[in-house]
Copies of this chain bind each other. A is one copy, B any other.
Amino acid sequence: MSLTKVFPTEKFRNLSKFRHGLCVLLAIGMLTMCAVGNASAQEKKQIVRLAKLVIDPAQLEPYKAALKEGAETAVRVEPGVLTLYAVSEKNNPTHFTILEIYADSAAYRAHLQTPHFLKYKNGTKDMVKSLELVETDPLVPGMKIK
């Protein structure tokens, strides 16, 4: 029996390299799956809703100023407020829709306690004629605004 049969060093090295490569590939695959899984799980916890408001026409400008300040501040200082994208209808400028996205329910509850939200809420309560909150499911939770 030749030594090369007992210790087929070259083959062993190649096999070892192959196993090492396989391990690295598997590890990368698992990490990728974890990352994708986490992103998806995070997105599933999102609160996405439409707030539909009608504003007193006599107080439209102060309402807009208050909403602008409140929304910009919330998105700037609260990591869990992902957007507060507000639009008013061209044909009904007192009709507003706000797309609200919060990272999760804890982020939403925290938002309700912030000084900027309370200032907006208390400061505009006599300007808002009606408010409807519509809970929604996003079709593509990872969709952004470019």
| Residue positions of A touching B, CB distance < 8 A | 48, 50, 64, 67-68, 71-72, 75, 79, 81-91, 93, 96-97, 99, 101, 134-140, 143-146
Contact = CB atoms under 8 A, between A and B. Distances in A.
B86 A139 contact: yes
B82 A145 contact: yes
Contacts of A89: 134-136
Q: How many copies does the complex hold?
A: 2
A51 to B, nearest CB: 12
Nearest to A86: B139
- Chain A interface, >50% SS class: strand
A143 B82 contact: no
Given A71-B140, A83-B145, A88-B139, 10 more contacts: A48-B87, A50-B87, A67-B139, A71-B139, A72-B143, A82-B146, A83-B146, A88-B137, A89-B136, A90-B137
17 contacts: A50-B87, A50-B97, A71-B139, A72-B140, A75-B143, A83-B145, A85-B138, A86-B143, A87-B99, A89-B134, A90-B137, A91-B135, A93-B137, A96-B139, A97-B97, A101-B145, A144-B144
State the 8 A-B residue pairs at the shortest beta-carbon distance, nearest first: A87-B136, A86-B139, A83-B145, A90-B135, A82-B146, A144-B145, A85-B143, A145-B145
Contact of A86 (B79, B90, B101, B138): B138
Contacts of A71: 139-140, 143
